[in-house]
Amino acid sequence: MPIPTTNIVTPGTSVNIILKADQPTGRTVSGVISEVLTRGNHPRGIKVRLRDGRVGRVQSLVSTSSSSSSYSSLGDSTGGEGKRVRFVGDEEGESRPEERVGLDAYVVPGVGGRQQGGRRGGMTSQSQRQSDFEYSIVKCPVCGEFEGDEAAVAHHVAGHFD
């Protein structure tokens, strides 16, 4: 289904949009356009503001037969932050717009890299492990008094010229 053009997307039209935060997952939400924010057509969809204040890009129009019946039987209520939120009931003939959610919505990033059970060739010596953590100590070239690693000295030197 192609993305709707500016000829169709006007205030008062019922649409399915993707919010900025949901772009990676492709999850869509429905609403009625309050304001069109994009001047022309856009390949990812025309940016609009819905009546409840949410902003996103239009992906499709809500079919007129289901939108008129579902919106007429819906009640408006106020959300926790003072925004208007619509609750869709599951009565006869009502259906929610299909939400497309990718697997990346459920993947939790790991805590760290892969753990290595052991290294080939036996244990590494204590001196080899310590060399991984060594860093060079540098003196401040401006005053000659401050000593530290390269990043600390760079920060200190910048303080001389502020």
Q: Using a cut of 0.75, tell me whether the model's pTM lies above it.
A: no
Nearest Cα residue to 56 out of 99, 82, 22, 7: 22
Which tens digit of pLDDT belongs to each residue from 121-143? 555 555 555 555 566 788 898 99
Which tens digit of pLDDT belongs to each residue from 98-109? 556 666 666 777
Nearest Cα residue to 149 out of 158, 141, 139, 157: 139
